[in-house]
Amino acid sequence: MILPPSDQILHSVQSKSWFNSRCQSKVKLQYLKSQREIMNDNVVTNTFRLIDRDQSKTLEIEELYSMFLKNGYPININLLRGFFEKADKDNNKSIELEEFKHVIYDEQATQSFREMMRKMREQAKESNYYSTDFVRLLRYLSYCQDRNALQFQINNHRLTVEKRSKLLSQLIQLNHQYNQDQQMSDEQLQPKPYKKQTNERKTLPPIHQHYVSNSNTSSMIQSQLKLNLSDVHKNSALSLPSYLSPQNTDRNIKQPAIKYQSYLRINNKIFSNNKK
């Protein structure tokens, strides 16, 4: 079955489920995951690289502890160790990127993270952002890192006016993007089920008795012309068969070629060796 070239269908729940079950390794990422899942993966990946100071592609508990302290969180090492053990699935004393991403879907790791954040909120002496949502907290930490880096450059007195104004515009854009991402709800980003539109059959209203009894033919024609033409087109009983004249026979011959080109366009849009 060839899907029609409609984003509403390609990004629906049914299509994503079908792609994941049949051809997951060949379909582009945007047709396998929802917009929420793609955004979460990007946030987790970016924050993972920020915490990984030694660029070892793994996170140690010392790096997580240092990250919380650097951003003003009264972290408890025992609670952090409990969360770390839940996230470390292979028990090799470090967390890989895939394990870090899996925290979102792991109920035990998520529960341990929420408990850790609640304890920090109770013990906090200064106001801070204590979100119990794993991705939202990582997005905030990533935002703080980028914001602090820009502010450090802006405070450099050796900058020219043009360079400083450019950095200020980047800082404003960063704040706007962060607020916009935080305000997005899950309903806006989750795929919606595709509902096939049903064409309702409409019948023409009967001719009034006044015109039936009236022998004037022109008055009957005028009454019928007042009907909505859309009703005529939607009523399959009133649709006339197409007349194959010599002028439109070439167009009918080209129909299979047009359908094949449409199929190739959809195939290239969905499937690719290089997922983008």
pLDDT band for position 111 (cuts 50, 70, 90): very high
Percent of the chain with pLDDT over 70: 65
pLDDT tens-digit map of 179-232: 888 776 555 555 555 555 555 555 555 555 544 444 455 555 455 544 444 444
pLDDT at 35 (0 to 100): 77
pLDDT at 69 over 80: yes
Higher pLDDT, 232 or 139: 139
- Helix%, strand%, coil% for the chain, nearest 5: 60, 0, 35
Alpha carbons 219 and 224: distance in angstroms, whole number: 9
pLDDT band for position 154 (cuts 50, 70, 90): confident
pLDDT at 99 (0 to 100): 93
pLDDT at 107 over 60: yes
Plot region of 91 (φ>0 → left; ψ -120 to 50 → alpha; else → beta): left
Cβ–Cβ < 8 Å for 211, 238? no
Average pLDDT over residues 42-65: 90
pLDDT at 244 over 90: no
Cβ–Cβ < 8 Å for 34, 186? no
pLDDT at 238 (0 to 100): 42
pLDDT at 97 over 90: yes
Plot region of 222 (φ>0 → left; ψ -120 to 50 → alpha; else → beta): alpha
Class of residue 82 by CB neighbours under 10 A (exposed 0-12, middle 13-18, buried 19+):
middle
**Residue corresponding to tokens 């800082």:** 171
C-alpha triplet 111, 36, 180: angle, nearest 5°: 100
pLDDT at 55 over 80: yes
Alpha carbons 176 and 180: distance in angstroms, whole number: 6
pLDDT tens-digit map of 26-43: 777 777 777 788 888 888
Tokens of 214: 């009236």
pLDDT at 160 over 60: yes
pLDDT at 239 over 50: no
Class of residue 194 by CB neighbours under 10 A (exposed 0-12, middle 13-18, buried 19+):
middle
| Secondary structure letter of residue 2 according to DSSP | P
pTM of the model: 0.61
> Which of 79-93, 174-188, 260-274 comes out lowest in average pLDDT?
260-274
